[in-house]
Amino acid sequence: MDRARHRQLLGAWLETVPGLVAELDRDERADITRLTGAINALAKRIGQRVRDVAPALLAHPGCAELTAAKLVGEAAGITRFKSGAAFARHAGVAPIPVWTGNTARRVRMTRSGNRQLNAALHRIVVTQIRLDGLGRAYHRKRVAAGDSSTEALRCLKRRLARVVYDHLHTDHQQRQTTCQPAAA
State whether 141 and 84 are in the same domain. Answer: yes
d(CA 117, CA 151): 19
State whether 100 and 148 are in the same domain. Answer: yes
State whether 9 and 86 are in the same domain. Answer: no
Write the pLDDT tens digit of every residue in 104-144.
Answer: 566 666 778 889 999 999 999 999 999 877 888 988 998 99
Residue 73: is it exposed, middle or buried by C-beta count within 10 angstroms (0-12/13-18/19+)?
Answer: middle
Torsion angle defined by CA atoms of residues 120, 125, 126 and 129, in that order, rounded to the nearest 10 degrees? 160
State whether 59 and 39 are in the same domain. Answer: no
- Does the reported pTM lie above 0.85? no
Report if residue 184 sits inside a domain: no
Write the pLDDT tens digit of every residue in 7-62.
Answer: 778 778 877 878 887 778 778 888 888 998 899 999 999 999 999 999 999 998 88
Write the pLDDT tens digit of every residue in 86-102.
Answer: 999 999 988 777 766 66
State whether 66 and 131 are in the same domain. Answer: yes
State whether 115 and 34 are in the same domain. Answer: no
State whether 107 and 152 are in the same domain. Answer: yes
Mean pLDDT of 141-148: 89
Question: Above 60 in pLDDT, residue 81?
Answer: yes
State whether 142 and 91 are in the same domain. Answer: yes
Tally of domains within the chain: 2
State whether 75 and 123 are in the same domain. Answer: yes
State whether 69 and 12 are in the same domain. Answer: no
Range of the domain at 11: 4-49
Residue of 120, 117, 73 whose CA lies nearest to 92: 117
